[in-house]
Amino acid sequence: MQVLKPGDFYFGSRGEQIKTLLGSCVAITLWHPQQRIGGMCHFLLPDNGGKELEKGGYDGRYADQVMAMFKRELVRTRTRPRDYQVKVFGGGNMFPQLARQGLDIGQRNIGAARRLLHQEGFRIRAEHVGKSGHRAIILELETGRTWVRWQGQGAGNEH
Measured between alpha carbons, how far is 8 from 16 in angstroms, rounded to an integer? Answer: 16
The pLDDT, as a whole number, for residue 157 is 40
The pLDDT, as a whole number, for residue 158 is 40
The pLDDT, as a whole number, for residue 4 is 98
Residue 91 lies inside a defined structural domain of this protein? yes
Position 101, amino acid: Q
Residue 45 lies inside a defined structural domain of this protein? yes
When pLDDT is cut at 50, 70 and 90, the band that residue 94 belongs to is confident
Query: Residue 62: CA atoms inside 13 Å, Cβ hemisphere, count?
Result: 13
Residue 51 lies inside a defined structural domain of this protein? yes
Q: Which of 154, 150, 156, 146 is nearest to 19 (CA)?
A: 146
Q: How far is CA 90 from the centre of its chain?
A: 8
Collect all residues with Cβ–Cβ distance below 8 Å to 11 and sequence separation of at least 6.
30, 37, 38, 39, 69, 70, 73
Residue 158 lies inside a defined structural domain of this protein? no
Position 69, amino acid: M
Residue 156 lies inside a defined structural domain of this protein? no
Domain holding 28: CATH number? 3.30.1330.200
Domains in the chain: how many in total?
1
Quote the pTM value.
Answer: 0.90
Would you say residue 155 has pLDDT above 90?
Answer: no
| CB-based burial label for 81 (10 Å; 0-12, 13-18, 19+) | middle
Residue 159 lies inside a defined structural domain of this protein? no
Q: Where are the alpha helices (DSSP H) in the chain?
A: 63-77, 96-100, 105-119
The pLDDT, as a whole number, for residue 142 is 94
Residue 157 lies inside a defined structural domain of this protein? no
The pLDDT, as a whole number, for residue 156 is 47
For 57-82, write each residue's pLDDT tens digit.
Answer: 889 999 999 999 999 999 999 999 99
Look at 77-86, 91-100, 129-138 and tell me which has the smallest mean pLDDT.
Answer: 91-100
Question: Domain span at residue 34?
Answer: 2-151
Helix/strand/coil for 147: strand
